[in-house]
Chains A and B, each alone.
Chain A
Amino acid sequence: MFDKEALKKIKERQEQWEETTLQQWLARLPERDELFRNLSDMPIARLYTPADIPDFDYLEELGFPGEYPFTRGIHATMYRGRLWTMRMFSGYGSAEETNERFKYLLKHGETGLSVAFDTPTLYGYDTDDPMAEGEFGKCGVAVSSLADMEILFDGIPLDKVTTSMTINAPAAILWAMYLVVAEKRGIPWTKLGGTIQNDILKEYIAQKEFVFPPKPSMRLIVDTFEFGAKYVPKWNTISISGYHIREAGATAVQELAFTLYDGFEYVKAGIERGLDVDEFAPRLSFFFNAHNDFFEEIAKFRAARRIWAREMRNRFGAKDPRSWWLRFHTQTAGCTLTAQQPENNIVRVAIQALAAVLGGTQSLHTNSMDEALALPSELAVRIALRTQQIIAHETGVVNTIDPLGGSYYVEYLTRKMEEAAYEYFRKIDAMGGMIAAIEKGFPQKEIADAAYRYQKEIDEKKRIVVGVNEYVSDEPITIPIHKIDPEGERRHRERLARVRRERDNERVRQCLERLRNAAQDEKENLMPYILDCVRAYATLGEIMKVLREVFGEYREPIII
């Protein structure tokens, strides 16, 4: 894009500048003793000019929004057409309490729902299982059967609001519950929109809420791809997630590389099942973290779109442009929230959210200021939602598409992120793919190393965290702390007992038996069997028990 003559002149002028103006300044005012490195540990230069991207090719690398390689955005109009979906991840206690929170958020202008489940639900245990001791409703809402799901979405128009569910090992079952709730209300599945996270690879890598070994897990996931493509065409059957990888301590580069590689594995698995890539790839979605280093994050999002489009087209031969789209949800980085001076988190979240918007996100969750202390209070979650509304309606950043496109620094960094991701791809290819890499503990070790390095930098004050290792204050915390209704667990347990008592237990037994037989036959798609179990009010724990018995449980290699 830059002609050689112009580049030569720029370089010469830069050398002159370094010898004259810059030298004089440095002599008078030396640069601060700082790392000047981003969170991926890349050195950041003092200044970027066209000389840093000498062979930059606008049409090749950026193109136009809505066109390959989608660096500038997947839609031709981006936020001028439609704003991102404001989707606040929420859930705690019993279905009643969370339903109330959903309605509160919708009333305040939220445009999509996102369900957080508690840990027993995430691992597929009913609340009264001994493994669930002390965990009820702590990290999300407890859902043990269809009866809970019916209450959770009571009064919410499922054909108008899209719902995202953060659920992985038991994703097929919770999805089936949602589908049956719609069915019972007479809403056709073709009208349902939403997402199940359903990304087991990042569970092995980072979030650790796995249950089954990789092979049967991948089978269940492809079952949902296949079923969704046929019967629930507007549903995203997976949200390939870097968020948790990042929260576990990964750098931006690692988040980018491991997440996209996980994506390749899911595409491969779908193709191996015999599905046409263009049949399911348009329903694959992504989920990234928005961390502190502003430009690094923006470069990461842009690089992700470019890599995915290229690999889908070239590696997997997808022909439908929608298969090339990397559509993604973003959540601001929970791990950057501080328990100290929690009000400061409002500012962190605002800046991270701005990075997500400048990076072209399709949907966004903004964390609440109190999340390093407890589950969010109404006040805190409202401010978090308002932060998105302020970005959308007051800052003007939505007026033009990819406003940072063409910045020498951002384009340089987008390329660097991309190159670094391909380095990881080559390493993982050489190991025989992501599952083999996970079994070797490779991504886990890379992340643990990065997490340790980051902590050491903070401990040694090479990185400043405001309110933690600098600008510390002893003033007591005054923000309100949210409390869970202690009656919720009793209500939930009573409902669970009533479900088991009042349902047709013979029908439940038969449904579970049919599921067991189908699970033993690799050629069967398990979704119809799971749906039947759910319709009969088999509990989550009962369905998962059958699958645990057939598939076994995964034990992870212990890596420090």
Chain B
Amino acid sequence: MAEEKIRVLIAKPGLDGHDRGAKVVARALRDAGMEVIYTGLRQTPEMIAEAALQEDVDVVGLSILSGAHMALLPKTVQLLREKGLDHVLVVAGGIIPDEDIPKLKEAGIAEVFGPGTSTQTIVEYIRNKVAEIRRSRKNA
């Protein structure tokens, strides 16, 4: 049986209008054969968690360049978990200082992709991680 397509929600939390990276990543994931849903701008953590639930995604990719990541990203993960979406892989990208990354990881962001990351790196990471998550859910 063919492997089920990976479904990804790309979201822009907060008031940040910089959507170049989000769109480039969305296209790259789509070109890599994934199903991609893009939320558009100005999403609150609540809106993102709700969309993730409705769209039944495997991955949520959060793009943020405004500097508000410490306020918005952990909150988004928390809301996802509250909705029972424990299996959803959450990754982030944007302008995020190195020193914030351990704190974000502790809050449940699996990986942070900074400026200069190639799209292949992101594609491969998501493929491997989702495969891992799917395997462990099957065995559970």
A residues engaging B (CB < 8 A)?
119-120, 122-123, 125, 131-135, 138-139, 203, 207-209, 247-249, 335, 338-340, 372-375, 448, 451-452, 455-456, 458-459, 465, 468-469, 477, 481, 556, 558-560
Q: How far is the CA of A135 from the CA of B115 in the complex (A)?
A: 20
User: How far in angstroms is the closest Cβ of chain A from B109?
Assistant: 15
In the complex, are the beta carbons of B15 and A122 less than 8 A apart?
A: yes
Tell me whether A248 and B19 are in contact in the complex, defined as CB-CB below 8 angstroms, given that A138-B67, A372-B95, A459-B120 are known contacts: yes
Tell me whether A134 and B17 are in contact in the complex, defined as CB-CB below 8 angstroms, given that A459-B119, A468-B116 are known contacts: no
Q: How far is the CA of A248 from the CA of B120 in the complex (A)?
A: 21
In the complex, are the beta carbons of A560 and B27 less than 8 A apart?
A: yes
Cβ of B16 under 8 Å from chain A: yes
Q: How far is the CA of A248 from the CA of B26 in the complex (A)?
A: 15
Q: Which residues of A contact B18 (CB under 8 A)?
A: 208, 247
In-complex Cβ contact of B23 among A139, A372, A451 (8 A):
A451
User: How far in angstroms is the closest Cβ of chain A from B72?
Assistant: 5
In the complex, are the beta carbons of A208 and B41 less than 8 A apart?
A: yes
In the complex, are the beta carbons of A558 and B17 less than 8 A apart?
A: no
Starting from the known contacts A138-B66, A139-B16, A558-B38, 8 additional A-B residue pairs (CB-CB under 8 Å) come to A119-B15, A248-B19, A249-B24, A335-B20, A373-B97, A451-B24, A559-B23, A560-B26
In the complex, are the beta carbons of B20 and A556 less than 8 A apart?
A: no
B residues engaging A (CB < 8 A)?
14-20, 23-24, 26-28, 30, 36, 38, 40-41, 44, 66-72, 95, 97-98, 114-116, 118-120
User: How far in angstroms is the closest Cβ of chain A from B16?
Assistant: 6
User: How far in angstroms is the closest Cβ of chain B from A492?
Assistant: 16
In-complex Cβ contact of A338 among B15, B68, B115 (8 A):
B115
In the complex, are the beta carbons of A207 and B17 less than 8 A apart?
A: yes
In the complex, are the beta carbons of A448 and B119 less than 8 A apart?
A: no
User: How far in angstroms is the closest Cβ of chain B from A403?
Assistant: 34
Q: How far is the CA of A273 from the CA of B98 in the complex (A)?
A: 52
Q: How far is the CA of A134 from the CA of B120 in the complex (A)?
A: 31
Tell me whether A208 and B19 are in contact in the complex, defined as CB-CB below 8 angstroms, given that A455-B24, A558-B40, A560-B26 are known contacts: yes
Q: For B18, B20, B38, B69, which residue has the most chain A Cβ atoms within 10 angstroms?
A: B20
Q: How far is the CA of A133 from the CA of B27 in the complex (A)?
A: 29
In the complex, are the beta carbons of A339 and B120 less than 8 A apart?
A: no
Q: How far is the CA of A208 from the CA of B18 in the complex (A)?
A: 7
Q: How far is the CA of A560 from the CA of B23 in the complex (A)?
A: 5
In the complex, are the beta carbons of B115 and A372 less than 8 A apart?
A: yes
In the complex, are the beta carbons of B116 and A134 less than 8 A apart?
A: no
Q: Which residues of A contact B27 (CB under 8 A)?
A: 448, 452, 560
User: How far in angstroms is the closest Cβ of chain B from A73?
Assistant: 32
Q: Which residues of A contact B44 (CB under 8 A)?
A: 131
In-complex Cβ contact of A556 among B15, B16, B40, B66 (8 A):
B40
Q: Which residues of B contact A119 (CB under 8 A)?
A: 14-17, 66, 68
In the complex, are the beta carbons of B67 and A139 less than 8 A apart?
A: yes
In-complex Cβ contact of A373 among B16, B70, B72, B95 (8 A):
B95
In the complex, are the beta carbons of B116 and A340 less than 8 A apart?
A: yes
In-complex Cβ contact of A451 among B20, B36, B70 (8 A):
B20
Among residues of B, the one whose C-beta sits closest to the C-beta of A448 is B23
Q: Which residues of A contact B30 (CB under 8 A)?
A: 560
Among residues of B, the one whose C-beta sits closest to the C-beta of A137 is B67
Q: How far is the CA of A203 from the CA of B115 in the complex (A)?
A: 23
Q: Which residues of B contact A556 (CB under 8 A)?
A: 40-41
Among residues of A, the one whose C-beta sits closest to the C-beta of B71 is A134
User: How far in angstroms is the closest Cβ of chain A from B37?
Assistant: 10
In the complex, are the beta carbons of B66 and A135 less than 8 A apart?
A: yes
User: How far in angstroms is the closest Cβ of chain B from A79?
Assistant: 34
